[in-house]
Chain A
Amino acid sequence: MNFRRLFRFTSRSSDDVRRDLDDEISFHIETRADALRSEGMSPGDARAQARREFGQRADAAMISSGLAVERRRSFRRLASELQQDTTYGIRLLARSPGFALACVVTLAVGIGGTTAVFSVVNAAFLAPPPIAAAGEVVRVQLGESRTSSAVFEELRTRNTVFATMAAISNARFALGEPGSTTPLMGERVTTTYFSMLGVAATLGRTFDPADVRDDLVVLGERAWRVHFNGDAAVVGRRIRLDRRTYEVIGVMPRGFRGLAAPGWVRDCWIPLPRATTPGGSAATFEVAGRLRPGIDASDAAAALRLTAQQLRTDRPELPESLTAVRLLPVGGINAFRGVGALVPVFMFIALLALVATFVLSIGCANIAGLLLGRAVARRHELALRAALGAARTRLIRQLLTESLLLAGLGGAAGVLLASWLTTLVPVAVAQLNFPFALEVQIDWRVLAFTSAVSLVTAILFGLAPARHAVRVDLGAVLRDGSSSARRQRLRQALVVCQVAACATLLVWGLLFTRSLGNVTSMEPGFDASGVLLADFTFDATPDSSADAVEAQIVEMHRRASALPFVESVGGAWAVPLSLTSRESFSVFEADAPDGNGRVVNANRLTPGWFETVRIPLLTGRDFTWNDRLGSPEVAIVNRTLAERFWNGRALGKRLRFIGVRNIPHEVEIVGVVGDSKYWTIGEAIEPVLYLAARQGTIADGLSLHVRTSNIADTSRRLSEDFARITGDGHIELRPMADAVAVAMMPARVGALVTTAFAAVAVLLATMGIYALISFSVAQRTREIGVRKALGASPMGIVRLIVSQSLLLVAAGLSLGILIGVAGGHVLANLTVGVSPGDPLTIAIAVSLVLSAALLSSSIPALRAARADPLEALRQD
C-alpha cells in the first residue's frame, strides 16, 4: 500500500494550477471551436457554441476553488473517518470482548512480563553502581581479592595511573546503646572514598580527603530513613556505633551503595585509621581507583604490574602473588569475572533472554492467530463494504485503526503490568532475612523493543484481511465461505510453532524447577538445622586487648555449653554457604620445598565445631583448647585435601603456607574430617584446611555455632549471658539455616523466573491454541452441518476435530521437546543433578501440553457438535 499517496495533495501553488487551467481551458475551447467550424459553423457561432458547451461560468478560478474545496473536504473527511473508525473499532471490540481480552492480555503479558524480567535481571546483576562515570572506576586486585594496608600505602605512594585511590573494608556495626542495638552493614573507607566515587551527600557532606578525625560517620539513606526517621537534624548529632560515638556529617542519596554489587545495602561509612606504621596492621582491604583521564584499564594494569614487581624487589617479604595484577570493572557482566561467576551469570542471562524471546514470540503468534481468525470471520463484512463502494484505502485505514486500538490497549496494559511486577520484586527481596535490597527500575529500552515487536505484529496481521478481502474476486468471497488451502496451512503451521515453543519452554522451566529441588535436598556435608548462629561485635577500641576479647569468647563458649537444650558448641570464622566470609591460601607440602602450591579454602575453628554442624571426624582428633598460641601449630583437613596431597594418609603430615598478615606457618595435620560445601551449594567439593582459631586471633569475627533442641530458648539465654559478660557490644542471633538460605538464592531466583515464564508461556500458548483451533472449527461449521445431516454422531464429530487438532499438536510437541532437550544440554551448567533428557521432565511437559491442547480443541468441538445442523447449513 502506498501511504504517501493516501495523504498526498498537490504540492503546486494554486496560482500555478490556475495558470495551467487557464491555458487548458482556452485550448479546449479553441479546439472545440475548430471542430465546430469544420462542421460548417461560422467562426463566431463556433466560438460561442464551444464556450457554451464548456459552461458559461466555468473558468480556471472556479475549478481551482473547486479543487481547494475538495481538498478541504478530504481533510475533514479523513478526520471524521478516523473518528468513525475509532468508534466503530471500539464497538466491534466491545461486541467480541473475548477476542479483545485475549489480544490485550497477550500483548500485556508479552510486553509487560518480558520487560519486568529484564528490568529485574538488570537491577540484580548488571546495574553499575550509582556513581559518577562508573566506567573509569576499577577494582584493583594484587594476587588476592584483598590487599594489606602495607601494600595499599605503597601503591598509593607509587601510583601513576589513578586520579584517586581508596581502600574499603566491609564491617558490621552495632548501632545504639548497649542492650538495644541494631546491626548496620557498613564500610570503613579511606577519606578519598567519596571523592573517588564522585557522589555528594544529599544532606550534610561526605569525607574530605583532608579530614583527620576518625569519629565521623556518613549514613546511608536506608539507615537514615529507618533508624533516624529521615530527620534532617541528624547531621551534627553524635551516634553510638559499637562502643564509640561518631558525629554524623552527612546522608547519602537513596540507592547509593558504593561499589557493592547490585542489591547489597550499605548503611554507614566510617573513616579508616590514617596511614599505619610501616610494620603494617592486620587489616586487609578491597582497593579501588578512578583511572586518570586518557588511561585505559589495560594501560593501568601494565603500569601496576611494573609497580608490583618493583615493590617485590624493594620488599622481598611481600608475597610473590602480588604481581598478578587484575583490574575489574565495577558494573555490568564483567564485574562477575572478579568473583568467578561470569559464566553462570552470563548463561543465566542468556537463558532468560532466550526464554523472553520465546514468550514474546508466542505472544506475537497468538496475536497473529487471533487476528487471522478474525480476518476470516470478517471477510464477508469487508467484501460487502468494498462492493458497496468503500475505498480500499478506507478499509485499510479502518483495519489499521482497529489494530492500533488493540495494540494501544495491550501496550498500556503491558506497561502497567511491568511496573506492577517490578514493584513486587523489592518487596519479595525484603522478605529474605538478608541485608539485601533491590531497586528495580523499568528498563525502557527493553520496553520499547518488546512494544515495537508486538505492535508491528498486531499491525501486520491486523491488515491481513485487507490484503485478502479487498483484492480477491468479490463474487468468490460472497459465494464461498470456506477458506483457502493456503490460509489453512498457515493456521496449521501457527499451531505447530506455538505448541513447539510452549513445549520447549516447559522443558526448560521444569529442568530448573527440578534442579532447584535437587539443590535444596543436596547434601552440603553439614547439618544446619537445629543450629543457632551467634555473631558478636566487641568493642574495637585500642584499649581492649585481643586477649580480653578472646577471654570473653571462651567464656561465651563455656556458658553456651552449659545452657539447657544445648548439645554442643563450636566457633568458626567462616560460616559455610553464608556468602559472608571466605579465605584461601596457597599451601605447600613442608617436605617438598620446591613443590607446587595448591590453593585451598581455609577456616578457623574452636573445639567442638565439627560435632556441632555434624561433619564427621574420619580419623585423628578435633582441636582442643590447648591448641593455642605457643603450642605446636596444628590443622585438620577435609577428605578431599587429604586425598589430593597424600592419597588420604594425612595424619602427621606437614603443610607450609603464608597466612594472614603475611605470617608464614607450618602446621601438622592432626585430623581428617568429611567433605562439605564451602561457598556455594553447586560447587564441586574443594580442599579445605581447618586451623585452630586460638593459634591466630580468635577475636576476629568468630561465629559461635550452637546445636540446640530449642532455638528460641537458647537465643534468649545466650543474649542474656552475653549482656552479663560484656555489658556492651552487640550480639546477633539467627538460625544457621537462614544464613545458608542465601546460598540457595541464585538457583531459587533462576527457578522462579523460568517457572514463571514457563507458566506464562503455557497460558499464552493454550490461549493461542484455543483461538486457532476454535477458529478453524468455526470455519468448518458448514462441513460439520453436512456431516451431521448425513448422520454423523456428535461424539464422532468431536473425535474427528480433536484427533485432527491433536495431530498438529503432536507434531509441535515433538519439535518442541527436541529443541528443549538440545537447548538443555547448553544449560547443563546451570542445572544441578538433572540431565536435559530427563524422562520425568519430558513426561510432565508432554502431559501438560497435551491436556492444554485437549482442552482447547474439545470445547469448540463440543460446541460444533451440539450445533443445529440446519442452522449450520443456513450460515453463510
Chain B
Amino acid sequence: MGDTTMALMQGTVDLLILRALQAESSAHGYTVSRFVHARTDGVLALEDAALYQALHRLEARGLIESEWGRSNNGRRAKFYRLTAPGRKQLRIAASTWRAYAAAMFSVLDGSEGSR
C-alpha cells in the first residue's frame, strides 16, 4: 500500500458505500469494506472506523436502512440496504462525479484541436 493509497476526499466515503450497497443489495459492514477494497485494488484507503461511522450517518439520514440477521458463517450481523432516497442520492452523486471527473479529464488530457 503506502504511497499508492490516497486519502479519500470528503463526501466520497458515502458515495462508495452507496455504490457497494447497490451492488450487494443487502450487506454488512465487512462486505462493504471488502467490496471497496477489491474494486479499487486497495488504492482508496477506506478505514473501517470511518466506514462504520459513515454507515450510521447514512442510516440516520434515511439513505440506508439496517436489520440484524444471520451471516453465512452463522454469526449475528447487521445488514444494510439502500432506501429509495439512497438510490436517488446515489444517482445524483454519481452523475455529479462523472461530470466532474469528465471535466477534470478533459482539462488534464484534452487533445488541443477538438474545441
Contacts and interface: CB of A to CB of B under 8 A. Distances in A.
A389 B96 CA distance: 8
A67 interface: yes
Given A27-B71, A31-B30, A31-B75, A392 B92 contact: yes
13 contacts: A5-B61, A24-B28, A27-B28, A27-B30, A27-B76, A27-B77, A28-B30, A63-B52, A66-B49, A67-B53, A67-B60, A471-B92, A474-B99
Given A5-B62, A63-B49, A70 B57 contact: yes
B53 A63 contact: yes
Interface string B91-104: 01001100110110
A48 B69 CA distance: 26
Contact of B60 (A4, A9, A54, A474): A9
Interface in B30-87: 30, 33, 47-49, 52-53, 56-57, 59-62, 71, 73, 75-78, 85
Given A27-B30, A387-B100, A474-B99, A20 B78 contact: yes
Contacts of A386: 96
Contacts of B71: 27, 31
Nearest to A32: B30
Contacts of A387: 96, 99-100, 103
Nearest to A70: B57
5 closest cross-chain pairs (CB), A and B = A10-B60, A58-B49, A474-B99, A54-B48, A28-B30
A2 interface: yes
B11 interface: yes
Contact of A54 (B49, B75, B103): B49
Interface residues of A, number: 36
Nearest to B66: A20
A66 B29 contact: no
B70 to A, nearest CB: 11
A53 B76 contact: no
Contacts of B11: 389
Contacts of B61: 5, 8
Contacts, number: 87
Contact of B56 (A5, A30, A67): A67
A475 B11 CA distance: 21
A22 B71 CA distance: 16
Given A9-B60, A10-B56, A10-B60, A30 B75 contact: yes
A62 B49 contact: yes
A358 to B, nearest CB: 41
Contact of B99 (A5, A64, A475): A475
Interface in A1-42: 2, 4-5, 8-10, 17, 20-21, 23-25, 27-28, 30-32, 34
Given A54-B49, A386-B96, A31 B60 contact: no
Contacts of B48: 28, 53-55, 58
Nearest to B92: A392
B60 A55 contact: no
Contacts of A53: 48
A10 B49 contact: no
A5 B75 contact: no
A87 B47 CA distance: 38
A232 B76 CA distance: 88
Interface in A467-488: 471, 473-475
Contacts of A30: 75
Contacts of A23: 76, 78
Nearest to A27: B77
Contacts of B75: 27, 30-31
B52 A21 contact: yes
A105 to B, nearest CB: 38
A21 B55 CA distance: 10
Given A27-B29, A474-B99, 5 more contacts: A5-B61, A21-B52, A32-B30, A63-B52, A387-B96
A67 B73 contact: no
A496 to B, nearest CB: 35
Nearest to A390: B96
A55 B50 CA distance: 10
Nearest to B48: A54
Nearest to B63: A5
Which one of A8, A9, A31 has the greatest number of beta carbons of chain B within 10 Å?
A31
Contacts of A21: 52, 56
